[in-house]
Amino acid sequence: MKIRNLIYIPAQRYLCVVFVTLLLTGCSKQLELISEENITDATFWKTANDYKLAANRLYQGLDRFGFEDTESDIAFNFPNSVSNGTLTVPETSSQWTNYYNNIRSCNNILEKGAGSTDNNIKRFVAEAKFFRAWYYWKLMRQFGGVPLITKVLNTDDAELFTPRSSQAETADFILRDLDEAQNDLPVQSDISNPEIGRISKGAALALRARVALYQGTWQKFSGGADANKYLDIAIAASQTVINSGTYALYDGNGAQSYRYLFIEAGDDSKESILDRRYARNILGHDMPYRYDGSGYNPTKKLADMYLDTTGLPITHAESVFEGYNTMVSEFQKRDPRMTMTMIVPGKLTTRVFFPVTAIANYPDKPQRNFNTGYILYKYMSEDAFANNSGQNGDASMFDYDRHLIRFAEVLLIYAEAVFEKNESISDADLNLSINVIRTRAGMPHLTNSFVGTNNLDMRTELRRERTIELALEGFRYDDVRRWRIAETEMAQDIKGIKIKGSAWQTYPLYSDPVYQNRTDADGFLIAETSRTFKANMHYVQPLPAREVAFYNTNGYSLEQNPNW
């Protein structure tokens, strides 16, 4: 078991600096603790280590394991108000509050470090600039344009009522911060223990590529005029990461490398560009325990996206797809990533509650809602000690990292940006990007000739590749909105396995009339119906009502998103 010095710090341990940092028990002996009463700006902000301590706090807001794709059409656990169109204007928003709190911390570091010529201090100032971009990106993807606060505010500052910037202005601000940050950040290969996990130049470039692709495609499919400006940035940033030679896809477990990337084996691999890092007995998470059973169900929409082993969609006339007659037939002759993301019914695995002796896996009866019949395999540890921890009431043992930016995403960004800029992509660019991913997956390469011969659509295939490679990592909700297809995709029923007309019909769980009566005309389970997505409002979420009222009661205006 690898023990690491982490920079992610659990709350309520030791307060070293007001609003600055919380320390791990395992790291406390390395640092000189000063009582809170003695901390002032006069005694702090003197050394690079002070700036490092301040920057440490910013890592706390990095995404933990969660259920983000339940906000879309490829995952389900229970009805989600974002996914099914029942979201209402909230009084408050923890995301809004937390992101702006973190932005305030970033601004504080940037103000204190402004003009420093110390390269070590400049590094942590650059980290703060990266994180300011990160948290504004999180706001932008949810709300569109937001107020851009660039200084530490006091209660009497007029900037408390800064008006909203447009989404394009917000994107430009994020991209500028990332461009400036990367100049003072180290390359990944220069970061060694105990600093592994800190922000690198590659992370700034990769996030810049992500944001630019989002804004570029948003503009393109929403009738904006500046799509190519952003697509050019996405191409340049992703190409720089690719050409750096710093990153590569994880291949440490042969044909099963995609699966093992997402558990312990994939930690600190060359594919990792930005992770939320964990370590056993120091900072853990309970997601495999919560994912087990009906916690995070893939949907039929996702299952049907996986190609057959010849590279054809399963609906193609020449496909070798085996159909749905048996419990396992739809998993046969498919892209291997399908069975590294979902468990084939009956497959023997060690999982939560059964950490040592492998058992056959079949869908469990959900506690409150319908499942889809598909069982999550991605993120399931094979470590008996880790798997047993949740059962014993101690969920702190799961210690593998959550990959937030990985090299495969950069390859996908490059391919999509090139295609959307030019309405075409060369085989050479496909080999530089998509086919690197397909090689690891054990799938045939994508070529223009294959697309043409089989009457396929290149855009569809690029989007398919992105969806299945990044499945259940939280990208789908953003993707269907920036592609402007959400009103079609999100409004569809959430479906699962084929019950009627297949071997599932006699499986004890699905022979229950409650399931038999919840199937479509073709016999597929309907997990959720009556979903809506209103194109005139649901492409962005509503600002919290209390924030809007705060502006209004003080004689200012914070414009709510349209039709909310």
Is cis: bond before 194, omega within 30 of 0?
yes
Q: 68: how many CB neighbours lie within 10 A of its CB?
A: 18
- Round to whole Å and give the CA distance between 68 and 489: 16
Determine whether domain 43-62+88-256 maps to CATH 1.25.40.390: yes
With a CB cutoff of 8 Å and minimum separation 6, the contacts of 112 are 41, 45, 51, 54
d(CA 488, CA 535): 9
Which stretch of 262-266, 281-285, 361-365 has the lowest confidence by average pLDDT?
A: 281-285
Instruction: Please tell me the distance from the alpha carbon of residue 408 to that of residue 261, in angstroms, as a whole number.
Output: 11
CA distances from 438 to 255, 362, 397, 485 (A): 11, 29, 33, 25
Reported as a single tens digit per residue, the pLDDT across 272-327 is 999 999 876 566 777 776 787 668 999 999 999 999 999 999 999 999 999 999 99
Hey, where are the domains in the chain?
43-62+88-256
Structure tokens at 185: 């950040």
The closest of 167, 44, 60, 144 to 106, measured between CA atoms, is 60
Residues 418-422, mean pLDDT to the nearest whole number? 98
Task: For residue 145, give every residue at least 6 positions away whose Cβ sits within 8 Å of its Cβ, in sequence order, or none.
Answer: 164, 165, 166, 167, 168, 169, 170
What is the spatial distance between Cα 311 and Cα 344, in angstroms, rounded to a whole number?
20
Which of 56-70, 75-89, 170-184, 290-304 is the least confident region? Answer: 290-304
Confidence of residue 30 (pLDDT cuts 50, 70, 90): very low
Name the least confident of 39-43, 87-91, 259-263, 398-402.
39-43
Contact status, residue 446 vs residue 311, Cβ threshold 8 Å: yes
Task: Report d(CA 375, CA 296) in Å as an integer.
Answer: 8
Calpha distance 487→147 (Å, rounded): 27
pTM: 0.93
